[in-house]
Amino acid sequence: MTAPTHEQVSSDRLAPEGLAPVRTLTLGAAINAGLRAAMDRDPKVVLMGEDIGALGGVFRVTDGLLKDFGERRVMDTPLAESGIVGTAIGMAFRGYRPVLEIQFDGFIFPAFDQITTSLAKLHYRTKGKLTVPLVIRVPYAGHIGAIEHHSESPEALFAHTAGLRIVSPATPQDGYDMIQQSIASPDPVLFFEPKARYWDKGEVDSTRVASQLDLADGASKATAEMSKARVAREGTDVTLMAYGPTVRLAMQAAVAAAEGGVSVEVLDLRSISPFDYETILASVKKTGRGVVVHEAPVAYGTGGELAAHVAEHAFFHLHAPVLRVGGFHMPYPGSKFEHDYLPSLDRVLDAVDKVMAH
């Protein structure tokens, strides 16, 4: 698969020095710039992954970093995901802050045992004596016309395991901020990147997160902030809850619903584990209706967890049951059926109509 470089579609070069604090970047370029800033800040930050060096990764998110930081900090690895994660755990014990790239979402499963039975549990097993500051970047989700193992959304499988933080940026600003906050966090973080959104552009202010991380308690503040949801659009009738790849779809649905007189509030959840229930419950109690939108299958998914929590804690504020819009309970389909499988504008608006009908 050949993807355009972010340099080709971004209006700015990636080198941070000498650039204005506010730049227009693609999501991919923003993550690249965030990685660069973290590596400048801390010489213990190292990158590992398949083809991330000279090639710059399949999606070019690490483009140029090998040239500027050298092969001791940007390391191409064998095609062995379990070995990559296991090696990184050992490096974290020795004081490094490894940032791994899993080339495609479905390639993470050979490392599932390392992540869920070792990485997630080491802090607890040692009664807090050990921390494992490790970030696993995972390009995920669909809309790129690929097949299974290249377009899946496995976030719920990891969110089910205590001891991991699961986050997903939806905007270039969050891509830039949250990758640095994840690296600064003392906890292991799975950083799910919506690959179909890599070329979406937006303004990125590089000063705010830098000021935060310069504080004595910057890591603590960064960890707390990346776990907070964002009100992407205010509304009064329905709360649409989305993260990563479906935030843009939720915003489109809100615009379309407004033309029909329905005011939709959009929450960009940002963090999947933990969820920011304070913001979620405040919004649903205000609107009285909730719809969750994600690309992962609805069955046994994050939407079910959200719906259950809202029902338990905001039942008497609800005018309608919380509905879920997502993928179907089946293996990810071939590319020509992808658009039938993934949430669409029509399916989201249909859910909005249903909760409004109560």
The DSSP letter of residue 13 is -
Q: Which residue has the tokens 């990147």?
A: 193
Q: Cβ distance 41 to 218 under 8 Å?
A: no
* Partners of 22 in beta bridges: 205
Contacts 24+ apart (CB under 8 A), 120-125: 120/161, 120/162, 120/163, 120/164, 120/188, 121/163, 122/89, 122/163, 123/163, 123/187, 124/162, 124/163
Tell me if residue 150 is catalytic. yes
Cis peptide before 274 (omega within 30 of 0): yes
* Gap between the terminal Cα atoms of the chain: 46
Q: Return the closest-CA partner of residue 229 out of 203, 189, 267.
A: 267
- Of 6, 123, 149, 150, which one is the catalytic site residue? 150
Query: Could you give the CA distance from residue 67 to residue 3 in angstroms, rounded to a whole number?
Result: 20
- The backbone region for 300, taken as left when phi is positive above 0, alpha when psi lies in -120 to 50, beta otherwise, is left
**Catalytic positions, please?**
150
